[in-house]
A and B are shown apart, each in its own frame.
Chain A
Amino acid sequence: MDDDKVFKALADPGRRMLLDRLCARNGQTLGQLCETMDMKRQSVTQHLGLLEEANLISTVRRGREKLHFINPVPLYEVYERWIRKFEEGRLSLLHDLKRELERKKT
């Protein structure tokens, strides 16, 4: 919906980690997310609020529980707008090269 909100929401390691957690297991409650995050419950709530405002997560109420789902639709729009059109083929080549070289180093 709003690219600025998406980029701002992603500009924080804690929020990116929350997205990773939901990617690993979709549809978690606040309590479940707090268990795996080294962060105060209040901070997790705030981060989830920002992610929801950027439409990167969606929530559904089921009974007394509120479940959080990752919503990759805005990421797909960013990908379409900012990545795909810039010569995707060459970028993935560079990405692979970087990974290969970094692996050899260690």
Chain B
Amino acid sequence: MTDKSASFVYVTFIRTTPEKVFEAITRPEIARRYWGHENVSEDWRPGSAWQHIRTDEARTVDLVGEVIESDPPKRLVISWVNESQKDDPDQYSRVTFDIEPQGEIVKLTVMHDDLQPGSGMLNGISKGWPYVLSSMKSFLETGRGMDL
């Protein structure tokens, strides 16, 4: 059996509302402003597909997956795989966004699990998430994301 024991848990505190955090993840026109990508799904309902699309001319689809659980604006669970590896079930990992208000601040927890130890995906996301979450925080608090 494939070893998918690796996982990461990222936490950031953002001075905003849970609705805005949920929208920042799920609305393409917002995500493109701090992520360099859009997350696109028809309705973000369980069973629906989603795509992670680079905001360049070519609009390359980097990642795809399915919505597993959706409870706006509190929780979103999606599967996550490189577009080029989507036919291999072993390559699928899982991302859980938990959005929890704490007074005037929102605690955003991103848990990425079912990852293969030593995989390229593990390497990529361990660099990617801290950047994306810092940039999201900066964007939601100041209106500006960070330059890639």
Q: A69 — which chain B residues lie within 8 A by C-beta? A: 7-9
Q: A77 — which chain B residues lie within 8 A by C-beta? A: 134, 137
Provide the bound-state CA to CA distance between A86 and B6, in Å.
35
Query: Can you name the residue of chain B whose Cβ is closest to the Cβ of A2?
Result: B13
Q: A73 — which chain B residues lie within 8 A by C-beta? A: 10-12, 129-130, 133-134, 137
Query: Can you name the residue of chain A whose Cβ is closest to the Cβ of B131?
Result: A76
Interface of B is mostly: strand
Q: B8 — which chain A residues lie within 8 A by C-beta? A: 26, 69
Provide the bound-state CA to CA distance between A26 and B125, in Å.
14
Which listed residue, A1, A26, A27, A80, touches B146 by the CB 8 Å rule? A80
Provide the bound-state CA to CA distance between A73 and B7, in Å.
15
Q: A75 — which chain B residues lie within 8 A by C-beta? A: 130
Q: A55 — which chain B residues lie within 8 A by C-beta? A: 11-13
Chain B residues in the interface with A (C-beta under 8 A) = 6-13, 109, 111, 129-131, 133-134, 137-138, 146
Question: Please, how many residues of chain A have a CB less than 8 angstroms from a CB on the other chain?
Answer: 14
Q: A58 — which chain B residues lie within 8 A by C-beta? A: 9-11, 109
With both chains docked as a complex, state the minimum distance between the C-beta of A69 and any C-beta of chain B, in angstroms: 4
Interface of A is mostly: mixed
Tell me whether A60 and B10 are in contact (CB under 8 A).
no
Tell me whether B10 and A27 are in contact (CB under 8 A).
no
Provide the bound-state CA to CA distance between A76 and B137, in Å.
12
Tell me whether A60 and B131 are in contact (CB under 8 A).
no
With both chains docked as a complex, state the minimum distance between the C-beta of A7 and any C-beta of chain B, in angstroms: 17
Query: Can you name the residue of chain A whose Cβ is closest to the Cβ of B134?
Result: A76
Tell me whether A76 and B130 are in contact (CB under 8 A).
yes
Would you list which residues of chain A between 74 and 90 have a CB under 8 Å from chain B? Answer: 75-77, 80
- Whether A1 touches B111, Cβ cut-off 8 Å, given contacts A26-B6, A76-B131, A76-B134, is no
Q: A80 — which chain B residues lie within 8 A by C-beta? A: 134, 138, 146
- Besides the contacts A60-B9, A73-B11, A77-B137, what 19 more A-B pairs have beta carbons closer than 8 Å? A1-B12, A27-B9, A55-B11, A55-B12, A55-B13, A69-B7, A69-B9, A71-B9, A71-B10, A72-B10, A73-B10, A73-B12, A73-B134, A73-B137, A75-B130, A76-B131, A76-B134, A80-B138, A80-B146
With both chains docked as a complex, state the minimum distance between the C-beta of A74 and any C-beta of chain B, in angstroms: 8
Query: Can you name the residue of chain B whose Cβ is closest to the Cβ of A77?
Result: B134
